[in-house]
Amino acid sequence: MTDLLAMLPFILALAATGVLAGLLAGLLGVGGGIVIVPVLYFMLQTLGVSAGSAIALATGTSLMTIIPTSLSAIRSQQRRGNINWDLIKRWLPTMVIGVLCGAWLVTQIHGNQLSLVFGSIAILVAINMLFWGNAEPPFSQLPSLMIQRVLSFFVGGFSVMAGIGGGTLGVPLLTSCSMKTHQAVGNASVFGLIIAVPGALTLLLAGQTPADAPAATFGLVNLIAVIALVPLTVIFAPIGVALGQKTNAALLKKIFAVFLILTSVRMLSQFFGV
């Protein structure tokens, strides 16, 4: 009970993060993981968790939250006819292999190296939002099957190492090949489930719980954080979609991109000891 009371500010902050992650997912079409990972990373350190342990726990916990939110997104996207199941079947095998390889690496490497992975990916995503979000697609169609499988492998591997779902890398990749945005988001919702299920289970069952992890941590997943985040993320995502119809999404993307860059620079500065 004492441990839970001590974590009350942490839980309340997580609830606010769930609201923010849900709203941004609906408003901007980004996965909640891109918000949850950095917030968890810094918040866990306020509980006395080391930076290396914090990024590993943020990664595993974020992946676990993606499972229910991606199931909700898949149902919604399927009703709208936005999922190309033939594409999913082509990408599934190599994406799963990439996820398993990436999840294994998470259990083997020092946690600080994960902050380098996340920070690098987040900066690239931010640059894409700032400068190329509305650019004409560079490719007229998806590449050959072999290249698609290579791409799916790396999307799965890097996403699981960063604790993010399929939207962060999948949507810009698919739209760059002239896929319509709503279809790219629909397919990426399935990518999120493909990434999150094996990734989260691997980190839950095979990850070694850090000695400085907070209460209710199993493997590299903190269940208190999962319980605090998931309901609000699911509730507020459709609200974000509705708000997106009434707000300047392009301006919001630029603001969020700046937030991502500042957050990533802070994470990378810890990695490099600055």
User: For residue 28, what pLDDT band results from cuts at 50, 70 and 90?
Assistant: low
Highest mean pLDDT among 31-35, 59-63, 263-267: 59-63
Tens-digit pLDDT profile for residues 116-151: 999 999 898 888 888 876 778 889 999 999 999 999
Burial of 25 (0-12, 13-18, 19+ CB in 10 A): buried
* pLDDT at position 6: 67
Residues 111 and 126: their CA atoms lie apart, in Å, by 23
* pLDDT at position 3: 61
Tens-digit pLDDT profile for residues 224-273: 999 999 998 888 877 876 776 677 767 777 878 888 888 888 888 877 76
Residues 147 and 235: their CA atoms lie apart, in Å, by 37
Residues 72 and 2: their CA atoms lie apart, in Å, by 35
Tens-digit pLDDT profile for residues 189-200: 899 999 999 999
Find the helix or strand (DSSP H, E) in which 29 lies: none
DSSP letter assigned to residue 142: -
Residues 142 and 179: their CA atoms lie apart, in Å, by 8
